[in-house]
Amino acid sequence: MFGLKNQCTLNLDDEYRPLEAYQGAISRWCPGCGDSGILAAVQRLCRDEQLPPEKTVFVSGIGCASRFPHYMKTYGFHGLHGRAIATAQGIKMRRPDLHVFVNTGDGDCCSIGTAHWIHAIRQNMDLTVMLHDNSIYGLTKMQVSPTTPTGYKTNTTPRGAYLKPLNPLATTLGVVNASFVAQVGEWIPELLYDIISKAFHHKGFSFVRILQRCPHFMPDFFEQMVSNPDSVLLLTHENGMQFSDTIGKIYKNHLEHDPLDINRARELAELEERVPMGIFYRNEAIPRYEEIRRPRRATTPEQIKMTLEKTFDKFGITPVTSEVVRSGNGQPAGTGKP
């Protein structure tokens, strides 16, 4: 055709995956829980990006947010408390071709999982990490968490939380090799989706702090932000976030912020007058650990089988015989009976 020697063909993927293709079990979160909005945004992202379910993994630890993999019709790993990021790193290291997401809570990530979180920032592996921050331990019924505000009464601090809350944004930005840091409130669906999408497309460790309402234990905590748009400051830049006219009219406080300016990002992370939302920092020039340490050759199934058999051969199992050795009093030996 048109003098070309090679035939021109157009390959169309006839298997379009609708939203239902990513919807797993019915969620058991409380009515009005902010986790439901995060789930809807992520399922929509998977649909829009047409991510193959067999190539997509959601990893979590323990907590309300960690129910997430159950509600996705993809691969999932519901792990131990605080170990979600470490598990996800192992998956990504062995299978760099997979899309790996992490859903973790403020207790799961910022308390027992702090060491894994800090070193994961430094290693900068290609993971999309969503911190569901409701500032309370919800699953275990209202204990103080690292991000609980000072003075807030919980079951473990009946006179009010004693310490100033940990700032996940400032912490992440303070670790060497931080490459993507963002913040958003789950009650702004359009902005939530856009920021998670930006995080997914970033090549490196994407850390998104999602301010998430807990209607059961923290019913009034985010009310000021939700009801008063002037309390929110949108971070905008041609290399960062661009907001729709609808969002811009509702949230009128905007600040031009270059996401390559890490010093300014650290200042904004400590801002108290308003709640900044958007991309604080993004730098794709930082090396990724799975690229540095990627094996030169892929491991074949035969090599895996050989390694497993070699490991199993180190151990032996003594078969149980039918004979029972009895002691002098007629009882089976070793029973401890008189």
The 10s digit of each residue's pLDDT in 37-90 is: 999 999 999 999 999 999 999 999 999 999 999 999 999 999 999 999 999 999
Residue 192 contacts residue 186 (beta carbons within 8 Å): yes
| Residue 150 reports pLDDT greater than 60 | yes
Classify domain 19-292 at the CATH superfamily level: Thiamin diphosphate (ThDP)-binding fold, Pyr/PP domains (3.40.50.970)
Q: What is the pLDDT of residue 44?
A: 98
Burial 146-183 (b: 16+ CB within 10 A, else e): bbbeeebebeebeeebeeebebbbbbbbebebbbbbbb
Over residues 123-141, the mean pLDDT reads 96
Residue 71 contacts residue 47 (beta carbons within 8 Å): no
What amino acid is encoded at 199 in this protein? A
- Place 311 in a pLDDT band, splitting at 50, 70 and 90: confident
C-alpha neighbours within 13 Å on the C-beta side of residue 223: 5
Q: What is the pLDDT of residue 301?
A: 81
Q: Is 113 exposed, middle or buried (0-12, 13-18, 19+ CB in 10 A)?
A: buried
What is the percent of the chain with per-residue pLDDT over 90, rounded to a whole number?
A: 79
- Place 97 in a pLDDT band, splitting at 50, 70 and 90: very high
| Residue 332 reports pLDDT greater than 60 | no
What are the residue ranges spanned by the domains of the chain?
19-292
What is the percent of the chain with per-residue pLDDT over 70, rounded to a whole number?
A: 88
Residue 42 contacts residue 101 (beta carbons within 8 Å): yes
- Residue with the larger pLDDT of the pair 50 and 320: 50
Q: How far apart are CA 47 and CA 236, in angstroms?
A: 26
pLDDT digits (tens, 9 = 90+) for 216-261: 999 989 998 999 999 999 999 999 999 999 999 999 999 999 999 9
pLDDT digits (tens, 9 = 90+) for 265-310: 999 999 999 999 999 999 999 999 998 887 666 677 888 888 888 8
* Furthest C-alpha separation in the chain: 100
Q: What is the pLDDT of residue 3?
A: 45
- Place 15 in a pLDDT band, splitting at 50, 70 and 90: confident
Q: What is the pLDDT of residue 304?
A: 81
Residue 58 contacts residue 76 (beta carbons within 8 Å): yes
Rounded (10°) CA dihedral 80, 85, 86, 88: 100
Q: What is the pLDDT of residue 330?
A: 53
Q: How far apart are CA 33 and CA 136, in angstroms?
A: 13
Over residues 108-130, the mean pLDDT reads 97
Over residues 165-174, the mean pLDDT reads 98
Task: For residue 210, give both structure tokens.
Answer: 């999602």
Q: Where in 167-274 does DSSP place strands (E)?
A: 180-185, 205-211, 232-236, 254-256
